[in-house]
Every structure is written in structure tokens, then in C-alpha cells.
Chains A and B, each alone.
Chain A
């Protein structure tokens, strides 16, 4: 059950239990995300991080409750873990970003107003001039930033990022991190992010929840990742 209410924290979830074919994916997980914070969910592969995000998005059935205490319009921005693009797909960055920003079918053209809006979004993530580039030829880092641009409009009250730096090299990961830092500076959005990269978590996170199907630790990045040398010892599934 997902409920909307009016009191902080923005996300108040738990205890959440999710089973899939009798396998326990999440075991009584609780998560509280303070408004305006960047909250990272870290943990090993198969630890249920993406599953928890899907529950927050209402895309998977769960036991328990998730309360989203909206103050604004309740807009959610989302960057999925995977976005497979067929190498011959002739959809450009502009077409993709126009899909939810104009009523006119993008196959009949992108309006001038939408074009300006798309240009502004790309500038926010440092991708000026990439409007006409097909999605299929973007690098992994560029594609992630396009997805981030998509998630930033309309201005989200809650931004959910599922391993935004997953599979990126160091340079692309840094580029994305810069875009995230700029976004955090310019926006009041509350961010929930899944990440494997502990050094990045230390640089970005206000709070960290360490998840391995249940909550292993919760606190500041320093407390959780500093104390949990245990982190590196968590079993990889």
C-alpha cells in the first residue's frame, strides 16, 4: 500500500517485505528519507536495492506500507538501472526527451517550445548540442545523463536513481557525478539513489542505508561505510 500524506520525512517506508516465487527479496525493510537529502541505498548484488525502488514506484507488489509525504505536486523523476537501446534505433535525444513534453506525436515533429525546453534540459546535464544525436550512438555516460535530464523535468519532488553510474568508466562516472552535484545545488529535490560505488557514496550521500535483503546499517556515509569494513565482506550474490 502506498499512501500520500503531508508530514515529513518525504519517504517513510516499512516494514516492507517482498517475496517472489517464495524467495524472500526484502525482509521487513524500513526506510526513512529526509526531505531535501540525498539518500543512498548501498549493498551487494541481489541485496534488494532495485526491488525497494520498484516498490517505492508502485511497480511491484509488497507487504507493508510506503508513505510519501508530498508538499509540492508529488512529481517523481526516475532513472532506471537499465535502458537497452537497439543499435539501429533511429530515435534522437530530442525525440526521446520530447515524448513526455508535448502532446503532438514526436513522429510528426518536435514543437519549437519543446525544442527550447529540451535544449535547456540538456544544458543542465552538460550535454548541449546533442539534440539530434540518435540515442543508439551515445556513450554510456551520455545516455545516463540524458536519462537524468529526462528525470529532472517536471521538477521532481522525489528523484529516484537506480545505479546511475552502473557500468560507466571513471570519467563518465565523474561527469555524471558533476551533473548530480549541480542538480543537488540547483534543486530542492529529495534524491534516493542506489549505488555500488562506495567512494562515490562518500562524496555524495547525506545518509546511507546498507541493504542486504534486510537493513544492515543506516546512518551517515561516514558512519555506515566507515564502520562497516563489513561492507566489503558482504556476500555477492
Chain B
């Protein structure tokens, strides 16, 4: 990767690429955005259609707890993936199981998990900060390009490929199940399998995105791109492309804001994606007014 970064840096020095690309961490960040946009943008439109926005928020909180657990178990400060994957997958399976078997409304149950994981996470973080400076875990909480390594990027690419392949195989059934579970069942879909399947895909995608976006903000990137695209899209294909485009623009915009103003990448990306959402909202209102 070093020679690749050097080559890109040279292109930047010659003025062929923007000056920011002289720095390897920014090149890495840009590559992360290139991979993240299709993953999170692609998942985003199904998250919104399946009404899993609150579920995603709860997963972000679970990741916070996962970070603390990983660090307490002795994982490296820069990559507590064992804790994050372990606790997030456990939380996901528990949330889906309880949601499918309890009679309470799903948002109430997810609210319980949301509160539980946040409370647990805060307690564990206090324990963690006895061993580490709290600023050292900020990168996972709020996202930071400076801490993203080539290993993180490779993990992101590997997970991205696996998620894309699996999603392509099940996409039609997932969408039909989102629209009408009884129709999907008649068409041969296994609703329970689809629910666990999608929740697990979402979880692993969120976990590998944490270093860039941050545990507290990652849900924004799995909800807002689709919400923005939905304002202007007129078919499933446009909906997907719109979600991916918004995620990409927000990622690039966030990177730029983050490096120019020295603010956490996650916060900057969320600001960018929110801005895009309001632009599309205004565009929708204008289109509607014109069509009247």
C-alpha cells in the first residue's frame, strides 16, 4: 500500500489530484468512503423500507458497549473488533429474537435494548477510562480518519464484498418481505430467516464502519441516505442509486469538512448527509408545487 500512497501523493503534488491526497491517511479515508458508500447506502434503502432506523440506533449503542468490552478483555485500543463484533451480533440476535417472540410493539422492545446497552456501555466505559485516557477511545465513539489503518480498510473491503454478494442473492425476497410478509411467505420466503439475515448483515456493516463514522453516529449513515433518496427517487433502482450517491457525497463532504475544520469525521459526515437530506426535502416540495 505504501507505494500506492506514494504514487497518489505524487499525482497530488503534480496538481493532477487535489492537494489533500498528499497524505496517506486522507487517501485511506477516501478509499474507505468509496467502499462505505455502496455498503451503507445500499443497506440504507432497505433499512428505511423495513423500518429499522431505531434498530440501527440501538446497534450503534451496542457498539459502544462492544468497544468497552473489547478493551477490558485486552484488545488493542485501535481495533477492539472482537468486542464489537461479539457484543453487537449478540445484541442483534437477542433483539430480533425478542421482537419475534414478544407481544410488545417492536419500537418498545428496541427501546429497552437501546437503554440497556447504553447503560451497560457507560458503566463499562468508566471502568475502561481507569486504564486508558478517554480521548483514546474517542476515535471509535465519534470516528477519526487518523486512526484508520490499512487493516481496517482491508476488513471493510472484505466485509463489503461479502455483504454485497449475500444481499444480491436475497434482495428480492427481502424487499417483498418488507412490503408484505404474508405475500413473501406465500412466495416461499422464510420471514424469520430474512429478518435475522438482514439484521446480521447490517450489524457487520455497521461494525466495520465504526472507525470512520463512530459508534454514536453510524446510524445516521444507514438511515439518512435512503431518507434523502426517497424524497426524489421514482423507482427502486433510483432509490438504491440515490442512497449510494448521497452516502458517497456525504462521505466526501464529511472528509473535507473534517480535515479543513479539524472536527471528528463522524460528526462532519452526519452534518453533510443531513444537509443533503434537507436539500432533497426542499427539492421534493418544489417538484410537488410545480406538478400542482
Contacts and interface: CB of A to CB of B under 8 A. Distances in A.
A80 B183 CA distance: 7
B182 A78 contact: yes
A90 B183 CA distance: 19
A57 interface: yes
A129 B240 CA distance: 24
B175 interface: yes
Nearest to A92: B235
Contacts of A72: none
Interface stretch (A94-102, A180-188, A196-204): A94-102
Interface in A99-117: 99-100, 102-103, 105-109
A99 B186 contact: no
Given A99-B175, A99-B176, A107 B187 contact: no
Contacts of A109: 237
A70 to B, nearest CB: 15
A90 B235 contact: yes
Contact of B186 (A76, A88, A89, A91): A76
B179 interface: yes
Nearest to A82: B180
Interface in B152-198: 167-168, 171-173, 175-176, 179-180, 182-183, 185-187
Most buried by B among A90, A105, A109, A150: A90
A83 B180 contact: yes
Contacts of A99: 172-173, 175-176, 187
Nearest to B174: A105
A132 interface: yes
Given A57-B185, A80-B182, A92 B234 contact: yes
A109 B238 CA distance: 10
Contacts of B183: 78, 80, 83, 147, 150
Nearest to B172: A99
A134 interface: yes
A59 interface: yes
Contact of A107 (B180, B230, B234, B236): B236
Contact of B168 (A54, A85, A95, A105): A105
A225 to B, nearest CB: 28
Contacts of A92: 234-236
What class of interface size applies to chain A in its complex with B? 20 to 34
B55 interface: no
Interface in B214-260: 229-231, 233-240
A132 B235 contact: yes
A21 B22 CA distance: 67
A96 B172 contact: no
Nearest to B232: A90
Taking chain B's interface residues, is the majority helix, strand, or loop, or is none over half, making it mixed?
helix
B49 interface: yes
A78 B235 contact: no
With a 10 A CB-CB cut-off, give which of B176, B179, B186 has the most chain A CB atoms: B186
Nearest to A107: B240
Max count, chain B CB within 10 A of own CB: residue among A95, A107, A147: A107
A201 B182 CA distance: 25
Contact of A90 (B186, B187, B234): B234
Interface centre among B173, B180, B187, B234 (most CB of A within 10 A): B180
B232 to A, nearest CB: 9
Interface string A199-218: 00000000000000000000
A72 B186 CA distance: 17
A105 B180 contact: no
A90 B233 CA distance: 6
Contacts of B175: 91, 99, 106-107
B195 to A, nearest CB: 15
B171 A106 contact: yes
Given A94-B235, A108-B168, 4 more contacts: A91-B239, A98-B172, A99-B173, A100-B176
24 contacts: A57-B186, A78-B183, A83-B180, A83-B183, A89-B179, A89-B230, A90-B229, A90-B230, A90-B236, A91-B175, A92-B234, A92-B236, A98-B172, A99-B172, A100-B172, A100-B176, A100-B187, A105-B172, A106-B172, A107-B45, A107-B175, A107-B240, A108-B237, A109-B237
Which 10 pairs between the two chains have the least Cβ-Cβ distance?
A105-B171, A107-B240, A90-B233, A95-B236, A78-B186, A90-B239, A99-B176, A99-B172, A107-B236, A100-B187
Interface of A: 54, 57, 59, 76-78, 80, 83, 85, 88-92, 94-96, 98-100, 102-103, 105-109, 132, 134-135, 147, 150
Interface of B: 45, 49, 167-168, 171-173, 175-176, 179-180, 182-183, 185-187, 229-231, 233-240
